[in-house]
Amino acid sequence: MSDVLAITEHRQGELRDVSSELVTVGSELAAQQGGELHLGIIGGDVDAFAEELSLEGVETIHTVDHGDEFNHDVYTQATAQLFGDIDPTTLLLPNSVNGLDYAPAVASELDIPLVTDAIAISRDDGLEVTREMYGSKVETTVAVDAEVAAVSVRPAEWEPTEAAGDPAIESFDADIDEDAVKSTVTGFEEVAGGDVDISEANFLISIGRGIEEEDNLPLIEDLVEATDATLSSSRPIVDNGWLPKNRQVGQSGKVVTPDVYLAIGISGAVQHVAGMKGSDTIVAINTDPNAPIMDLADYAIVDDLFDVVPALIEALE
Amino acid sequence: MKILVTVKEVAEAEDDFDIDGLDIDERYLEFDLNEWDEYAIEEAVQIKEDGDDVEVVSVTIGPERAEETIRMGLAKGVDRAIRVWDDAFADVGMLDPKTKADVLSAVVEDEQPDLVLTGVQAGDDSFGATGVTLAETIDFEWGAVVNALDLDAGAGVASVHRELEGGIEELTDIELPAVLTIQTGINEPRYASLRGIRQAQSKPLDLHELDDLGLEESDLESPLSRTAMYEPESEGDATVFEGSAEETATELASLLRDVGVVEG
């Protein structure tokens, strides 16, 4: 037993990108362990998903035809049973919102350790996982002292595998105890709608925690008006109720790809970066030269936004 | 009805810091109430205010220093608090989610809550796994990353929104008893009033050691250990505009004109 089992993810009829990224990290790890990569697909149109995930490096795809959408009780049971059947050394799961909703339960039920939000994984003497701490300011290495472990993998950290492969596709007959399913998904709601679609803008001026107070918003609005840009923000601004949800850039908001993304007082947490890293030109104004946003920026001003923004408005007039 | 809220005191690193061994040197750390837990506390206190006979109890695994943070929760409306600590914790390098859940489950056994609220994650290590691990351990139902909660205690159901990626929310009915992990933005956490801060001083804050919980030092053995901490190499190759605010702003203005997103 030196195999890897990776559980894929889908939503509303579509496979999510993390599924083919799991193939990349999973096949790398399987090679290091001298084992094979198994994929699990639970629910939805499993046959179509299996065809789509017939990628290089995958040995066997196990489909569990149960339900249309994610349900954590079903996923927990099905994953634990697949794990029991395949007997892998490493269980890989997506560190997505749904991953966070069942990975800890699976690991707890199987009584194996779980390391979340991995950005690198290797196995030499034992399993070693790299993950961030303190809001991406540092990286850490975590050693796992156990034969078998579960790791949840950060989305968009590995390249997706695109090359086709020829895995065996096997239907797995999971025995789902319906009495233990005590949660029911009743629907979905799109919350980021409204008058503005920030993903259509070609110049976004985006603000973060650095603006400190709601009373400082008018300063930024003056800049937005002077430049005819569109205003967006990172999560804390929306959490505080200073801007509506449809202005939020990031993992739980919108993914944007403007010509210019001007990040003002945004540190660049990973969830934010997920929503804006595809911008053509990224400009950051921040007092902290070590803020993660600086790694991404094409141009940067390391200074107080309350000095730079008024000067910028003036320079544009 | 009783609500148990798990509260963590987290460390935040200053902009400039040094790493000492396997962690940031404590001189560069500030300790505070975990942001996500602040929303969990507010949610519990709001349920208490809207209902009859609801008690809100917080539980924290942390050293004596954490009492300041715990009192913050009491000042915001938590009725009483439990702090779990033992010298043995100081010797554990890294508490993994399962070990934490085992400790918290002993508190759940004592308290018998109907609902447990946790933050989605802790701001320092961002593991994001304690709540759901706890649910599985104590055989409660659960929901992760909840950003709207409508509790029908009579029917024994929590109707929640789970905040998925990309501006989509999942609507889910969860049977009680349950553990819900609370996302930021679900409510507007209140500031502690002066009266609240005064009252907090006389609210119960009980220390439980391992013995009191029926646990032993060996229960804290974790399969995970941190073996390195380092600053990631900067991958940045940004052109940094230098000079006064006027100078840098002028350079930025001409960049914006050159790229063509502003006229002139």
Going by DSSP bridges, is the β-strand pair B224-230/B115-119 parallel, antiparallel, or unpaired? unpaired
Residue spans of alpha helices (H) in chain A:
18-33, 46-52, 72-86, 97-110, 217-227, 235-239, 270-276, 293-296, 305-316
- Measured between CB atoms, which of A135, A185, A299 is closest to B239? A299
Q: What is the rounded average pLDDT of the residues A43-69?
A: 98
pLDDT tens, position by position, A95-136: 999 999 999 999 999 999 999 999 999 998 899 999 999 988
How far apart (Å, rounded) are the C-alpha atoms in residues B239 and B241?
A: 6
Number of continuous H segments (helices) and E segments (strands) in chain B: 7, 15
Q: Does B249 touch chain A (CB under 8 A)?
A: yes
At residue A48, does pLDDT exceed 60?
yes
What is the C-alpha separation between A124 and A128, in angstroms, rounded? 8
Tens digit of pLDDT for each residue in B164-184? 998 899 999 999 999 999 999
Contacts of B241 in chain A (CB under 8 A): 299-301
pLDDT at residue A263, rounded to an integer = 98
pLDDT mean over A46-66: 98
Mention the CATH class of domain B2-220.
Answer: alpha beta
Chain A residues with CB under 8 Å of B167 CB are 190-193, 245-246, 248, 252-254
Mean pLDDT of all residues in chain A?
A: 96
Q: Where are the domains of chain A?
A: 4-180, 198-316
Cis peptide before B177 (omega within 30 of 0): yes
What pLDDT score was predicted for residue A204?
A: 97
Tell if the CB–CB gap between B96 and A312 is shorter than 8 Å: no
pLDDT at residue B233, as a whole number: 83
Pull the structure tokens for residue B18. Answer: 């040094």
Express each pLDDT in A176-207 by its tens digit: 999 999 999 999 998 877 778 999 999 999 99
pLDDT given for residue B220 in this prediction: 94
For residue A191, the model assigns a pLDDT of 84
Phi/psi at B203 (5° precision): -80, 150
Domain regions of chain B by residue span? 2-220
Residue of A nearest to B180 (CA): A101
DSSP calls for A139-158? EEEEEE-SSSEEEEE-TTSS
B94 neighbourhood in chain A, CB within 8 Å: 142
Q: Which residues of chain B from 188 to 217 reach within 8 Å of chain A, CB to CB? A: 188
Interface contact flag, A297 B255, Cβ < 8 Å? no
B202 to chain A, closest Cα gap in Å: 31
With an 8 Å Cβ cutoff, are A182 and B175 in contact?
Answer: yes
Burial class (CB in 10 A: 0-12, 13-18, 19+), B263: exposed
- pLDDT given at position A313: 96
The string of pLDDT tens digits covering residues B214-254 is 999 999 999 999 999 999 887 788 999 999 999 999 999 99
| DSSP H/E element including B49 | helix B35-50
Q: Quick one: average pLDDT of A265-292? A: 94
Instruction: State whether ipTM is beyond 0.90.
Output: yes
Nearest-angstrom CA–CA distance, A103 and A72: 9
Phi, psi (deg, nearest 5) at residue A54:
-75, 80
Cβ neighbours of residue A166 closer than 8 Å, sequence gap 6 or more: A54
Q: What pLDDT tens digit does each residue of chain B (264 aa) get?
A: 999 999 999 999 998 999 999 999 999 999 999 999 999 999 999 999 999 899 999 999 999 999 999 999 999 999 999 999 999 998 888 899 999 999 999 999 999 999 999 999 999 999 999 999 999 999 999 999 999 999 999 999 999 999 999 889 999 999 999 999 999 999 999 999 999 999 999 999 999 999 999 999 999 999 999 999 999 887 788 999 999 999 999 999 999 999 999 987
Residue A302 binned pLDDT confidence (cut-offs 50, 70, 90): very high
Q: What pLDDT, on the 0 to 100 scale, is given for residue A124? A: 87
Q: Answer whether B249 sits within 8 Å of A314, measured CB to CB.
A: yes
CB < 8 Å to B43, chain A: none
Q: What's the pLDDT band for A317 if we cut at 50, 70, 90?
A: confident
Nearest CA to A87 among A60, A47, A65?
A60
Question: Do residues B172 and B135 touch, judged by C-beta distance below 8 A?
Answer: no
Domain A4-180 matches domain A198-316 at the CATH topology level: yes
Assigned CATH for A4-180 = 3.40.50.620
Nearest to A72 by CA among B36, B117, B178, B147: B178
8 Å CB contact of B144 and A138: no
pLDDT value at position A184?
A: 96
For chain A, say whether B155 makes contact (Cβ under 8 Å): no
* pLDDT of residue A146 exceeding 90: yes
**Over residues A38-65, mean pLDDT:** 98
pLDDT of residue A1: 57
Domain A198-316: CATH class, spelled out = alpha beta
